Each structure stands twice: as C-alpha cells, then as structure tokens.
A = this chain, B = another copy of it.
Amino acid sequence: MLEDKNQERTSLSKLGEFGLINHLTEHFKLYNSSTQKGVGDDAAVISQTGKETLITTDLLIEGVHFDLSYMPLKHLGYKAVMVNLSDVYAMNGVAEQITVSIAISNRFPLEAVEELYAGIKLACDTYKVDLIGGDTTSSTKGMLISVTAIGSAKKEDVVYRNGAKETDLIVVSGDLGGAYLGLQILEREKQVFQVNPQNQPDLDNYTYLIERQLKPEARKDVPELLKELEVKPTAMIDISDGLSSEIMHICKQSKLGCKIYEDKLPLDPQVISTSEEFNMDSTMIALSGGEDYELLFTVPISEFDKIKGNPNFSVIGHMTEANQGMKLVTRANQEMELKAQGWNSFDE
C-alpha cells in the first residue's frame, strides 16, 4: 500500500555486485577509532586495546519477520540495525561496527535498495556505528537482511544472563507491548486496504504503537545511564521475544526463580486503550508481545534507591529461589505460572 508505482527504476544488474556495494556504501562515515579497515578487503579489521569484543547477529526475512506492504524499506534498514545493537547494549557494551548482508530478488530496483541503505545509514549516524562489510547477492524470492553487530566493553563491565542473585530486583526500561499492538494495527489496516484501497486510515490514536513497531530504538542510553548511576546489573537481556520469555532465560541461566508483579508492568496509555479496543489483555501483551527492544536487568536490592525514581526504569519484581518457580503476581494478588508465549518462528 505504500508503493509508488511511478518511481524511477534502475535495474540492479546494470551495476553489478561490486558497483552496487560501492554505490551503497560510499557515503558511510567511520565514527570509531577501533575500525582499522572497513568495507573493501577480504575482511574488516578492528582494533580493541584492553577490551572485550562483543559479536551478535540477526537474520530478518521477508514474509517471516517483515511485510513490505506496510514496512517502508528505510524503516526496515533502520530496524535491522536496531535489533542487533540492542543485543550489544544488553551485554552492557558499546556498539561500534556492523556488517550488513542482503539478498534481493530482481523485482527490487536500485532505488529500493537505496531506501533500505538510507535507513541503515540513519541508524549508523544516529548510533555512531561503522558499516565495515557484508555481502550483497540476489535471491530467488523476496528480500532478507542479515546484520552482525560488533561492540566492545571492558572485561569487568560485561553483563551476562547468568549473574542474577536471589532477592535481586528485576528492572525493565521504557514500556512494554507497544510494538506488538503496532503490528496488530498495521495488519488490520492492510486488510482494510485490501477490501477498500480508497480508504484513508486514521491512525492518530496509534502513532506511538506504530512507531514502536516500525522504528524501534535500541537502548544505547541504558548502559550509559547505569554507568552514571554507578549501577552494574547482575544480569541483563534485551526484550525481543517478550518479557516472559526473556526473564525465563535469566532465571534458567542464573538457576533461580522470579516473581513479576502485574501492577508494576509499565504500559503506555495507547497500549491500554488499544488492548481494550482489540479485546485483548494488556498484561498478556506486555508479557508476550515481543519486539519492544527494551532492556531487562537485575540489580542487587541495595541499589533500589538509585533506580526507583528514574523515569527510564520500572522495578517489576524480584528474583527468588529456583524451587519457587517463575511466577506472575496478579492485581488480585494471585500467583500464576509465567508462560513464555513469545514468537516461535517454527510454529506452523
């Protein structure tokens, strides 16, 4: 529905693989002194003195992870980078480089790939990250993007998933569930559009939700803020699959249980009103929605004073002994088993 039928179209085969790579990457700046050599050799060269190197990678596939009928290509490029930077921040690190591999079928003209790279460049410029390599090839069908992010952290600063301690507080940045509801709105509009292409949707009530879905921001500020507050999390993870699924990773790897309090879950007013409109439970959405790219972490209870008043953070529960299980304490003060109903890519 967002496609402009009159756009100019340049065939990719005109440029060839190396021409395309040059064309797409020539305006990218390098921001980090650790980048010794970027695009243009067999491998990129990174120099970290006295720090650990962090590496993470994600693969986004058309028809599985995104739908180009409502995901503009520029947003897709931006989001593909965010998803990966988020993983570096979740290690309490600084993201410094990315590689981007794309496969595209011939149905895409050069201008489409340029749009995609405009989003990647915006992400690089905003987050001060260097594009240092990748691979560009054709696909038999559709588009896919594989991004690898490289970051660094001092050895003593790296935060793993397995360091939570019993009684640690569970903290989450930002708010939850918006990205999932944004997707529901976009899916609904797509169906309306298929029935009546002349319909002009009024999306004013959903702007925050749609932005959370189409243009998520990785929480680069959280590791910075924690450093300022002199708080080192004991465990940290980013929320890609949903809060339940992520807290379960921390519990499992730290060999502990947890209690999450329903009334502490941070929800945007649009999440509450739109959940009602869709007749869905906002708690369920906050727990299982996914794609929020907020950070979930645990801190010793002694750090509560540093965290409590901060508008970026919500304390939503605490860790427990493993034999107490993973529990949600409802508003009615009932304990329920937490279930991971995050997105499972192999469900039929």
Flag if B155 contacts A42 (CB, 8 Å). no
Q: Does A74 contact B (CB under 8 A)?
A: no
Near B by CB (< 8 A), chain A positions 293-309 give none
Q: Does A146 contact B (CB under 8 A)?
A: yes
Flag if A64 contacts B99 (CB, 8 Å). no
Known contacts A52-B47, A140-B141; A13/B57 CB under 8 A: no
Known contacts A42-B238, A56-B42, A64-B138; A17/B345 CB under 8 A: yes
**A-side interface residues, number (CB < 8 Å):** 74
Q: Which residue of B lies closest to A15 (CB)?
A: B346
The 0/1 profile, CB within 8 Å of B marked 1, for residues 3-31 of chain A is: 00000000011011100100000000000
Q: Does A63 contact B (CB under 8 A)?
A: yes
Q: How many copies does the complex hold?
A: 2
Flag if A57 contacts B138 (CB, 8 Å). no
Flag if B140 contacts A55 (CB, 8 Å). no
Q: Which residue of B lies closest to A137 (CB)?
A: B345
- Picked from B40, B43, B52, B97, the residue with its CB within 8 Å of the CB of A88 is B43
Binding site for B on A (CB under 8 A): 12-13, 15-17, 20, 36-37, 40-50, 52-59, 61-65, 86-88, 90-91, 93, 97, 99, 101-103, 106, 132-142, 144, 146, 148-151, 155, 158, 160-161, 236-238, 253, 344-348
